A and B are shown apart, each in its own frame.
Chain A
Amino acid sequence: MSNTKNPISGVSRRGFVQGAGLTFLLGSAGVTSITACSASVPMADPLDVNQWLSIGPDGMIEIVFPSTEMGQSSYSTLPQILAEELDADWDQVRIRQLNVDDRRFGNPLFGGVLYTAGSTGVQAYYEPMRRAGAQARDVLLQIAARELGVDKASLTTEPSAVVGADGTRLSYGDLARLGTDGVTVPDAVSVTLKDRAAFRIIGQDLPRRDVLAKSSGQAEYAIDVDVPGMLHATVLRAPVEDERPVRIDDADARAMPGVIDVVPLPDGVAVVADSLWAALGARGALNVKWSTDSPFRTSNSEDTLAEYSAAAENPDADAAVWAETGDAPNAIANAVQTFSQLYLTDYAYHAQIEPMAAVASVDADGQGAEVWAGTQTQSWTTHTVATTLNIPPENVRLNMKTMGGSFGRRTALVQNYVRDAVLCSKAVGRPVKVTWSREDDVKNGTFRPAAAQKVEAGLTEDGKLDGWYHRVATPTVIGFFNPIRWDAVRPNDVISMRGAESKFYGIKDFRADHVITERHARLAPYRGIGAAYTSFAAEAFMDELAEQAGRDPLDFRLDLVAENPRGRHLLEKVAEMSGWRMRGDRAMGLSFAGYSSSMAAGVAEIEVDDQGTIRVVNFWAAIDAGLIVSPDNSHNQVEGGIIFGISSALSEKIDIEKGEVVQNNFYDYTIARAGEIPPIEIYLADVDAPPVGIGEVGSPMVSGAIANAFYAARGKRLRHMPFTPDRVVQALQT
């Protein structure tokens, strides 16, 4: 662990990457070669992809990983995409974490911000990283053609070697040493890419790079970072959002052994000590008087849900149209039969097992800082540090650490745990690690918003859908966690609304509205974002409609996918896997949802006991996420997503009373345990289409499938998620 201004690893060497057009070829070949090739080879356009890799004379290939890793495994998958087109020997690839807010590597699906979210990694970087690899391969072929005096077209590549027609082999390391005189970098847009049939890496199950370290306790997370001279801090946070300390009595805390300083923060008080144990103990001895004028003091989650329900039910409530085709209100008004229902969902907590932690070391002159943190964005972490210290972003030196889960938790424009580490380090003049306890993490969580949803639809004489109108009453999430982005996208909030577009169905007269309600809690993106609740309402209601129409839930849905053959295939496939047509009186429920452009059809089979406990005993899922880059990891991601969905559907709920989060820890915010997990069977469709997301597609379908299975079991509807035993008992008694 270094604490220097110019780390020798990491892509923070701006001079290095910008100074020469062909660093990808000659990263280790010395200044002379780089200068020579810069002079003799024309630079590609400014979006030139050659910042992505370097090939050393020893044949080692370093590939930049532009995202951050939280368990989704793009740390392995994204470099594999580049290695495929380069035709690299994967065993000779080193992965380099991008540790700087260098927007040349930005996520194209987030306007070039370095942002790891929304299951976008593979989808966003597939093209640019393939093209970067293909460019490099072409250059290697040109060097080989020059050296051998043959036509480039007579050469082929095998992993990390160019091979001539006569069998001559030149390794990539050798070619990197030979220099690029006379070589032209091909245009990234027109460079030839491999046919899918020629893939050696994409679609294979290469072992993930971080699995051994994560199976032997050697992977280092932010909470594990230790730098010389480092102190530990814990923060006593204001009990309610927007409150601040007005009087701090820290005499007792300061008198405790090991305590170095007590640092007032905008919304809390930090204790800095020589150990975490000492800091935790002294925090308990603080006596802080808080302000009491926050409007959030009156926030109660039950009242909030009642307020949102009224908004969803009120046809005159202001609403932003989220998606519209045809004229749904008119179609429904003129339909033979019309139906509507209200669906409720509570706040939910990310429950990542690593609580918030970050280390900061602010320079003595206050004009720069080194930070070690696990976050979903190099850009906003840099922004957090730079704005906290009022320094230029170039003076922020990041070390992005692998995260102990995140699920949307570490996405905000301003990351308060990073900010606090910076403020503490600045105050005491030494590196400081801020660690949150689990209770801190729950009480100061940023949640999936509570929502009330009214869904209304019409049916034709022969029981077909005739108009669909989905109104989602929930606050803007983006408006809270990233106000800059909200200014750009308002009033379209994909975080609040995703899924409500029901785009995998062809519904002629369709409308989804966002009734943007007042915010009464801290909010954040969450695995599945809006689809975590909009797909519950949509798929539970779809089943209610099918029943009204007197149709099997599968047939009713199949009518709506006539123009979506890939979706139809998933529904038919999951029906086959689960034995849907022969289910008899088994308690099985169907759902068809997905995430962004990825589709998922799922069937849950459940058991219900008289105490109202639902147990999922089987789950089948058919997934279409386009081309699958890493099949085994995709399976792991989908299975994890399904388990996340089961957990949210059955037990996860945050309550707020007088502005304070009621729950404390995993004993009162319960997540699924090993003994509650069913066998899960997953089918990944093999399709010839670009890759889309895999990290969240497993979750949104689950709650609808369980609610529908409950109806099959007991003939009652569950319309308030989570389906806790008290709610289940209540439903059984109605």
Chain B
Amino acid sequence: MTKFTLNGEPVEVTNPREEMLLLVIRDTLKLKGTKYGCGAAQCGACTVHVDGVPMFSCQLSLDMVEGSEVTTIEGLSEDGSHPLQQAWVEEQVPQCGYCQSGQIMRAAALLNDLPNPTREEIASYMSTNLCRCGTYNRIFQAIERAAKEV
């Protein structure tokens, strides 16, 4: 039994303690917004916050989050009302959309650390997350928009 907090709610799961957190979130807890992309800390599609820190959930085993607070895209807001999500809609950022949960979670952590980042700071911070459709410049614009509104 592993206990942690997911999006503000206490959860208990009986999965193997070494199981990849990403798969526990997706397949056991049925929150599908967090994506599998590489399993190797390369693409960032699986980004979640653990105690407020952005982490690749493909690199965490379940036991590593015992007692922690885990936040996924659904915890940011399920209805898309978070300022970053609103900015993503305003800037019409996504194309295929598959990487965007991870991008938004990464961006949320950025704005927690740096409320008014420069374009260079944004580009550098967001370089952990891949977007094959090439929406990077729109991601930058959306983060700048959200930074103004937060």
A223-B36, A665-B40 as given contacts; A674 in contact with B94, CB under 8 Å? no
- Assess whether B57 is interfacial by the CB under 8 Å rule: no
Chain A residue with Cβ nearest B45: A353
Does A216 lie within 8 Å of B80, measured CB to CB?
A: yes
Q: Is A142 located at the chain interface by the 8 A CB criterion?
A: no
Tell me, yes or no, whether A680 is within 8 Å of chain B by CB.
Answer: yes
CA distance A70 to B89 in the complex (A): 18
> Are A276 and B23 in contact, CB atoms less than 8 angstroms apart?
yes
**Once the chains are docked, how many angstroms separate the CA of A406 from the CA of B96?**
9
Query: CB distance A216 to B77 under 8 Å?
Result: yes
A438 within 8 A of B: yes
| Residue A633 interfacial (CB < 8 Å) | yes
- When the two chains form the complex, which single residue of B15, B34, B95, B127 contacts A673, counting CB atoms closer than 8 Å? B127
Is the beta-carbon distance between B137 and A680 smaller than 8 angstroms?
yes
Nearest neighbor of A221 in chain B, beta-carbon distance: B98
Instruction: Indicate which residue in A216, A404, A637 contacts B33 across the interface (CB closer than 8 Å).
Output: A216
Distance in Å from the Cβ of A402 to the closest Cβ of chain B?
7
Chain A's closest residue to B84 (CB) is: A215
Chain A, range 194-231, C-beta contacts under 8 Å to B: 207-208, 210-221, 223-224, 226
Among B32, B96, B101, the residue within 8 A (CB) of A402 is B96
Shortest CB–CB separation between residue A95 and chain B, in angstroms?
16
Tell me, yes or no, whether B11 is within 8 Å of chain A by CB. no
CB-based nearest A residue for B98? A404
Q: Is the CB of A636 within 8 A of B98?
A: no
A632 interface residue per 8 A CB criterion: yes
Check if B99 is an interface residue, CB within 8 A of chain A.
yes
Q: A211-B93, A666-B38 are in contact. Are A224 and B32 (CB under 8 A)?
A: yes
Inter-chain contacts of A640 with B (CB < 8 A):
95, 133-135
The CA-CA distance from A395 to B96 in the complex, in Å, is 30
Interface check A73, CB cutoff 8 A? yes
Selected from A214, A355, A437, A439, the residue in CB contact (under 8 A) with B97 is A214
A117 CB to closest chain B CB (Å) equals 15
How far, in angstroms, from A352 to B132 measured CA to CA in the complex?
6
A167 at the interface (CB under 8 A from B): no
A211-B92, A640-B133, A671-B130 given; A404·B35 CB < 8 A: yes
- The answer on a CB contact under 8 Å between B88 and A675 is no
Chain A, 512-545, contact with B by CB distance < 8 Å: what is the 0/1 string? Answer: 0000000000000000000000000000000000
Q: Give A604 to B60 CA distance when docked, in angstroms.
A: 41
Contact, CB under 8 Å: A219 / B129: no
Q: B43 an interface residue at 8 Å Cβ cutoff?
A: yes
For A, the interface residue count at a CB cutoff of 8 angstroms equals: 63
Please report the C-alpha to C-alpha distance between residue A224 and residue B28 in the assembled complex, in whole angstroms. Answer: 12
Residues of A within 8 A of B114 (CB): none
What residues of chain A lie closer than 8 Å to B28, measured between beta carbons? Answer: 275
**Nearest-Cβ distance from residue B150 to partner chain A, whole angstroms:** 16
- Structural contact, B123 and A675, CB atoms closer than 8 A: yes
B96 near A405 with CB under 8 A, answer yes
On whether the beta carbons of B89 and A207 are closer than 8 Å, the reply is yes
B126 CB–A CB distance under 8 Å: yes
Instruction: Name which residue of chain A comes closest to B122, CB basis.
Output: A674
Return A619 CB to nearest CB of chain B, in Å. Answer: 11
Contact status B38-A438, CB under 8 Å? yes
Q: How far is the CA of A212 from the CA of B98 in the complex (A)?
A: 13
Question: Is A97 on the interface with B (CB-CB < 8 A)?
Answer: no
- Which residue of the partner chain B has the closest CB to A680? B137
Q: Which of A215, A404, A406 contacts B93 (CB 8 A)?
A: A215
| B73 close to A216 (CB less than 8 A) | yes
Q: Report yes or no: B95 in contact with A353, Cβ–Cβ below 8 A.
A: no
Are the CB atoms of B37 and A438 closer together than 8 Å?
yes
Whether B100 contacts A73 by the Cβ 8 Å rule is: no
Say how far B55's CB is from chain A's closest CB, in angstroms. 16
A405 touches B130 (CB 8 A): no
Distance between B98 CB and nearest chain A CB, rounded to angstroms: 3
Question: Interface digits, B23-56 against A, CB 8 Å rule (1 contact, 0 not)?
Answer: 1001110111111111110110100000000000
CB of A296, distance to nearest CB on chain B (Å): 26
* Contact with A212, one of B42, B80, B124, B127 (Cβ below 8 angstroms): B80
Cβ-defined contact, A217 with B23, below 8 A:
no
Q: Which residues of A contact B133 (CB under 8 A)?
A: 71, 405, 640
Q: How far is the CB of B132 from chain A (nearest CB, A)?
A: 5
Majority SS of interface residues in chain B? loop
Interface centre among A211, A637, A674 (most CB of B within 10 A): A674
Known contacts A218-B33, A221-B98, A679-B137; decide if A208 and B23 are in contact (CB<8 Å).
Answer: no
Residue A311 interfacial (CB < 8 Å): no
Which chain A residues in 624-640 approach chain B with CB under 8 Å? 632-633, 636-637, 639-640
Within the assembled complex, what's the spacing in Å between the Cα atoms of A404 and B98? 5
| Closest residue on chain A to residue B75 by CB atoms | A217
> A215 near B130 (CB under 8 angstroms)?
no
The answer on a CB contact under 8 Å between A674 and B42 is no
Query: Which listed residue (A214, A636, A642, A674) contacts B127, Cβ 8 A?
Result: A674
Decide yes or no whether A72 CB sits under 8 A from chain B.
Answer: yes
What does the 1/0 interface line of A583-617 toward B look like (CB < 8 Å)?
00000000000000000000000000000000000
Contacts of B80 in A (CB 8 A): 212, 215-216, 218
Q: Mark B94-125, 1 if CB is under 8 A from A, else 0.
A: 11111111001000000000000000001110
Asked if A677 and B98 make an inter-chain contact with CB atoms under 8 angstroms apart, the answer reads no
Q: Is A643's beta carbon under 8 Å from chain B?
A: yes
Judge whether B123 and A71 touch: CB under 8 Å. Answer: no
User: How many angstroms from the CA of A226 to the CA of B104 in the assembled complex?
Assistant: 24
Known: A214-B100, A217-B32, A636-B92. A644 touches B134 (CB 8 A): yes
Chain B residues whose C-beta falls within 8 Å of the C-beta of A404 in the assembled complex: 35, 96-99
Are the CB atoms of B96 and A403 closer together than 8 Å?
Answer: yes
Within 8 A of A (CB), among B135-150: 135-140
What's the minimum C-beta distance from B37 to chain A, rounded to whole angstroms? Answer: 5
The interface residues of chain A lying within 8 Å CB-to-CB of B99 are: 353, 404
Q: Are B98 and A633 in contact (CB under 8 A)?
A: no
Residue of A with least CB distance to B139 = A674
- Compute how far the CA of A644 lies from the CA of B135 in the bound complex, rounded to whole angstroms: 10
Within the complex, what minimum Cβ distance (angstroms) separates B46 from chain A? 11
CA distance A679 to B138 in the complex (A): 11
Is the CB–CB distance between B89 and A211 below 8 Å? yes
Chain A residues within 8 Å of B93, by CB: 211, 215
* Chain A residue nearest in CB terms to B126: A674
A644 to B96, CA, bound (A): 14
Residues of A within 8 A of B122 (CB): 674
Contact A70 B23 (CB under 8 A): no
- The one of A276, A403, A633, A672 that contacts B27, using a Cβ cutoff of 8 Å: A276
Specify which chain B residues have a CB less than 8 angstroms from the CB of A221 in the assembled complex.
35, 98
Q: What are 29 A-B contacts with C-beta separation under 8 Å? A: A72-B95, A214-B94, A214-B97, A215-B88, A215-B100, A216-B80, A217-B33, A217-B74, A218-B80, A275-B15, A275-B19, A275-B27, A276-B27, A277-B19, A352-B98, A353-B96, A402-B96, A403-B98, A404-B96, A438-B39, A636-B92, A640-B133, A643-B134, A647-B134, A665-B38, A665-B42, A666-B130, A671-B132, A674-B136
The 9 closest A-B pairs by CB, nearest first: A217-B33, A214-B97, A404-B98, A71-B96, A643-B134, A640-B134, A71-B95, A217-B73, A666-B42
Could you list which residues of chain B lie within 8 angstroms of chain A, going by C-beta atoms? 15-16, 19-20, 23, 26-28, 30-40, 42-43, 45, 72-74, 76-80, 85, 88-89, 92-101, 104, 122-124, 126-127, 129-140
